[in-house]
Structures are given as C-alpha cells and as structure tokens.
Amino acid sequence: MKSKEKHIFASLCFCAIPCLISIFFFTILIAGCEGPQGTQGRGIDDLDLEPPEIILITPLAGDTIFADTLTISAIAQDDRRVEYVEFFIDGISSQGNDIIALDSFPSNISYRYLWDFSATELGDGIHFLVARAFDKGHNHADTPAIPIWYLPLAGIFELKYDGVGDLSYFGLPDKHPTQDFWFGDKYFNVRFTPPAACILKEIRFEFTYPDLEYPGGGIDIDVFVWSSSDLMPDSVLLTVPIPETSMIYDDWMFIDVSEANLEFSSDFHVGFSPVDSLYESYQNEDRGASLIVHVDPDTLDDARQHRSIEFEPEGEARGWGSMQEHWELKMDFHIRALVEFSEGQTALLGSDNNPIPDMMKTDSPGMQEIRNLFKKSEVVK
C-alpha cells in the first residue's frame, strides 16, 4: 500500500512542478510588459489645437506708401505662445529677414518689420498685404488681405495749380483797369492739398514789373501761410516781410521758410498782400505788386473749389472767396509751394481712418470686397 501512495505522490509532484514553473515565468512576463516607470506622458488634452489671433496695426487699408520703405506692425496673441509673425505682400514673404518681437508672453505680442520695396520686384501701384501668426504647435492664422498703394515720391516736391490758359497779371492794391477806382481787395493766396504729410520748405511767387499796372512803382509785401478751414484761409501760421528792394520780377522768387518747420497733413494756404499799414498810401501813390496769372477758360462747376483766393473787405464785402467766385474768371495765381514728404508710410488725404479692428473680428472678406473697399477710398488728385 505504501508503494501505491508513493506512486501517487510522485505523480502529483511531476504534474505540479511544470505548473509552478509556468506561473513563475508568466509572472515575470507580465511584470516585464509594464516596462520601467517614468514621468507621465502627454495626453490628448495637452495637444495644441488652438490657432493664434492676429490683427494688422499699420498700415491701414487704402494707405499709400510714398517712400521705398514701409514699417508693418501687427499684434498677435495665443492661448500658449506665439512663435513668430510673417508678412506677405502679393504673396512675397518677409521670411529670410529679421523678424522682431518687441514684447513677450503673456502680454500681447507686437511685431514690426521694415519692408524695403526697392529690394523686391514690386512696382508702383496697388498691392495686398497679409500678416500670418504661428504658435508653438505650428498652428497659424492670417489677417484679412488689405490693399495698399505703393507710390514712391521724391523727397522734395513742388505743389502747383497754374499753367493752363493765357498769361496775364493781376495786382494788389486792386484798382479798376479803366476807372479811377480801388476795390481794396487783399491777401491773394492759393490753397494747397499735399498728397501726404509734409514740411513746407519754400514759397514761390512770380511777379511782373509793376510799372505795367502801377506808374508809381513797386511796394513792400507781407507773405503769409495760413491753415485752412472750409476751403478758405483760417489762422495765420507765418508772416514773412519782403521789402520792395528784394522783389524779383519776370522770374520766380523763392522764399525759404524751412526754419519755421511748418508741418501739414491737410490743406494749407500761401499768399501775399501789401503791408497793411501802408495800403492806403500805396493807393494814393499808385503803387502795387502785379502777380502773374493764367486765365483758364475751363471754369469749375463749383466756383468755391477754385484754389486761387482773395479777401474782399470793401465794396460788396463778401470776405473770403475764390477768384472765380468774385470775378467769374478762373484766374490761377502763380504761387507755388515746395514741400518735403515725411519718410515711411502715410495715408492718402481723404481716405478712411479705419479703426483698429477688434481682435476677435478677423473673418477675411472676399477679394472682391477688398477691391470694393479700396475703390471707395477717396484719392486726392
């Protein structure tokens, strides 16, 4: 009987040992599959799927760039961090050049880039500008394309509105051509509209010899620069006395006013008048200053828009008015202004001053809408 029990025990041991060995190796295999334990990896919630937001600050839609360089600026922000901003004009990228971040996370990030038109093949005319922001997750967002006008001008430019029609002359003090009668008009001037922000450098007049109209000879004059309001002179900004001995006749007379540092981004007026305290004595002595004019046969539908202007203090006492208003003739004074344009980008006079858009309103309009927007911008000609 003992022999049978030993046989059963040996059989049980023979079966159990392989099972224990299998359990041992299975345990090792399971433990090995977990691998070494380290820091927790990124989950799906950590992926950056949110694109940044960006708006253009300058230039504005419809702006005109008169210099070869343009400073483009944009503000971009992201829920994590903006990596960089890239600018495109007609698809040409600013990449490959320096991109400068002026601020850093977590504040809004301002980016500026100095675009050099002379270094590209972009010619004069209308171009479309886009700013694109990238974040760390390689997401990006674009601004709506805006139209800009590249129109490079020389730094110094002469503004003039004369040169059409027959040459003649018109003088101050103003007297009747055939009767012994004086009108008393003053302040012959021209309203100038600069195409861009500028500094007035020089004033130019062309007078003829006074004895053609005034037997008594020439006079001292005062030259004026005014601001403009409702097409007419407003405040006097500068007065320059010119003695008769310094007058130049039958040629352009140049008066340097650069030291006055007069800056304009809208209409201004330049003109002259006899010295006011001597006006009556000049009449009595039959003396005056005769300004050359062009008499343009094509009068304006709106006479008030005529740029050559005078002041009428006596007679009908109509005050300020254009020569076409007062005389029914479009007499264009030979008065010119030499200006120096500011560097960089400047807005066209009369174009809309578009406010900075809300950061969340960045839906891009269609290209046709953009073109329509540009067409609606007023362009001073």
Helix (H, G, I), strand (E, B) or coil at 371: helix
pLDDT, residue 238, reads 98
Per domain, the residue ranges of the chain are 53-152+347-376, 156-341
The reported pLDDT for the residue numbered 150 is 86
Q: Name the pLDDT band for 208 (thresholds 50, 70, 90).
A: very high
Q: Where are the alpha helices (DSSP H) in 156-242?
A: none
The pLDDT of residue 322 is above 50:
yes
pLDDT averaged over the chain?
78
**Higher-pLDDT residue of 68, 317:** 68
CB 165 within 8 A of CB 334: no
CA pair distance 370, 141, nearest whole angstrom: 19
Residues 6+ apart with CB under 8 A from 332: 161, 162, 163, 164, 165, 293, 294, 295, 296, 307, 308
CA distance 378 to 164: 25
**How sure is the predictor about 60, in pLDDT bands with cuts at 50, 70 and 90?**
confident
Give 228 or 70, the one with higher predicted confidence: 228
Average pLDDT over residues 292-310: 95
Q: What is the pLDDT of residues 74-98, one digit of tens each?
A: 888 888 888 888 889 988 887 654 4
Query: Does 178 have pLDDT greater than 80?
Result: no
- 69: which residues sit within 8 A by CB, 6+ positions away? 114, 115, 116, 117, 343, 344
| Domain 53-152+347-376 belongs in CATH node 2.60.40.650 | yes
Cβ-defined contacts of 145-148 (< 8 Å, 24+): 145/364, 145/367, 145/370, 146/56, 146/59, 146/60, 146/61, 146/62, 146/370, 147/61, 147/62, 147/370, 147/371, 147/373, 147/374, 148/59, 148/61, 148/62, 148/63, 148/64, 148/65, 148/70, 148/89, 148/345
- Model-level pTM? 0.57
Per-residue pLDDT for 250 more than 90? Answer: yes
200 touches 158 (CB < 8 A): no
Q: Which residues, listed in sequence order, are joined to residue 54 by a DSSP beta bridge? A: 76
Q: What is the pLDDT of residue 3?
A: 53
Q: Pick 162 or 45 by higher pLDDT.
A: 162
* Number of neighbours of residue 237 by Cβ within 10 angstroms: 17
Please determine, for residue 369, whether its predicted confidence score (pLDDT) is greater than 50. no
Residue 137, judged by CB atoms within 10 A of its CB (0-12, 13-18, 19+), counts as middle
